[in-house]
Structure 1
C-alpha cells in the first residue's frame, strides 16, 4: 500500500475509533477543514509533520502513537 493511502486509512480508523467526524477532528486539532479534506481525498500528496502533529493533538494521541500502528506495517517503498 502507498504511504498516502496508509496515512488516510490511519486517519479514518482513528476517526472511527474516537467516533469523530472530519468536522470534529478539524475543530479539535485547529487544522482547517479544507486542509483535512485535501489530505483525505489525496490531493495533498505530502502533508507536513506539523499538520499530522496537530491532527494527533485533536485525536488526543502522540505522533509516536499515530505512526506505531499496524496500518504502517504494509507500506511500500517511497517513490523518489
Structure 2
C-alpha cells in the first residue's frame, strides 16, 4: 500500500515505477496485489532507489505505525 500511495502522490504509473527501478512490470503489478504478503527487501530497495527515497523514508509512512505485531 505504501508504494500505491507514493505513486499516487507523484503521479507515477506502475510501468513507470518498474522502468525507473529496473524491475519488470509484472513484479510491480504482482506486488500491488493486496493479497500478496511476502515481498523481498531487495525488490523494495530497488523500488525505493527508483523513487529516489531511502528505506528509512519508505518505512516511516504512517501505514507502518498501524501494523500489529506478528509474533506475540
Question: TM-score, normalized by length of structure 2?
Answer: 0.87
Q: Please, what is the CA RMSD of the aligned residues?
A: 1.4
Q: Is 2:52 the counterpart of 1:67?
A: no
Give the gaps of 5 or more residues in structure 2.
none
The equivalent of 2:40 in structure 1 is 48
Q: Is the 1:28–1:58 Cα contact (8 Å) retained in structure 2?
A: yes
Give the gaps of 5 or more residues in structure 1.
1-8
Greater relative CO (CA pairs within 8 A, separation 6+): 1
Q: Which has the higher helix share?
A: 1
Question: TM-score, normalized by length of structure 1?
Answer: 0.79
Cα displacement string for residues 13-51 of structure 1 (whole angstroms, at most 9, x for unaligned residues): 100112100010000001111111111114543111110
Match 1:76 to one of 62, 68, 72: 68
Q: How many residues align?
A: 71
